[in-house]
Structure 1
Amino acid sequence: MMTPLKNAIAIPDDKQAIAKSDFDQQYLEEAATVLKSIVDDSISFQMLADATETILRHAFWLAKQKQKRSVREYRRLLVDYGWKGEEKKYLKIAAAFQKFSPQELAQIEPSTVYRLAQNSNKYKQIIDRLLDLTAITQEAVRSLMREPRTPKEDKPEKPSIWRRTKNGGRYCQIPPIHETDELTGTTLQKMIDNEGLSAQHIVAEAVALRQAYKEGRLTVVEKKVN
């Protein structure tokens, strides 16, 4: 029969116990630091998402106020809160993203929201394509913005005789008439000289006569020769 060995299980001395205690404490502190960093990052990104959502909610609210209030009441609202002149960019946001809810766009960072809204005509295709995404993220939006845009088809410019005045009104301006025989110009000048009328008056009469003829209120009667 073997004699039991005393102290078969080693008992750590005080130095070992202190070292293990220090290691555990360091591990806990490092783990707490990592966990805090993860939590801080999450909170930071969530705060950014909240900021985007708040911007959109304010934009939609402001657009609604402009729609339901009188012009005077709306201006007073802006003046009272010191927002006079600052509201335009938010109204552009409301117009550009009217098909979306604030929650759907919360993952887009604020400056991208402003950029898309300020250039809504340029980015219209991108904004429309967001409707097809299951999740609208910053990376998804950036990816769409990096794609080459489909060039617009050049449409022939529609001739216009209208010009704008400084006060917002408009007036009619007939483009120059180029003719080899200069018949229109010489005839008009002769009428001005002989009748004492302005070019505008004579042209107005000519247009009225042509319109009457097109509508059947004026007919050409051929003179019979005996």
Structure 2
Amino acid sequence: MIAQVQTVIPAPVDSKVVKKSEFEQYAQEKANALKNASGEEFSLLSLADVTKTILHHAFWLAEQKQKLSLRQYKQLLLEQGWKGEEKRYLKIAAVFGEFSPQDLAQIEPLTVYQLANNSNKYKSVIEALFDLRAITQEAVRSLVKQKRTPREPKPEKPSIWRRTKNGGRYCQIPAIHEQDEHTGMALQSMIDTEGLSAQQIVAEAIALRKAYKEGLLVVVEENKN
């Protein structure tokens, strides 16, 4: 009698599960390493490992988005509690896709987010990273400072208004500098001869000029004949 041999068909390997397991294993290993570190060692270790974990996560998430169907991808986000948070990690993957997590390990996590979220603004900085022998936080900070486009100062709109302590305002005419001092001398003469204040004379002069501009006054040339 021939014994029947039951054929065992291996279950298909879900690449998503494998990748997810690898990522979770990596995160757990780093968490354990951080627990065992202390003092200065903890500070140095946490900087590199947090940055690498962020990059590993970003690259893995971008890979899943390409491999999975839209429904599966959305389900993954829901399961992991990442819905609404995924966009910034996809930006990181898009911007730093040509680097490895180890390459960028010495950059602070906030700097990684800053460069990725403002990739157009920092395009020249990101491109310059390829030329660095060692990508460190100090080097990146220096690049940001070098590549920063100086802002052109906005021309200030002249204003004659000044504020009082009680919140009111008053008009103050700036100093008038003339080589022949014609305006100042004429104004002083009017003050002396007419007994008016400088403010009254200026107010009258402005009223006359305004009336002239509005066509209410005309210049009449004297007939010399």
TM-score relative to the length of structure 1: 0.48
- Higher CA-based Rg: 1
TM-score relative to the length of structure 2: 0.49
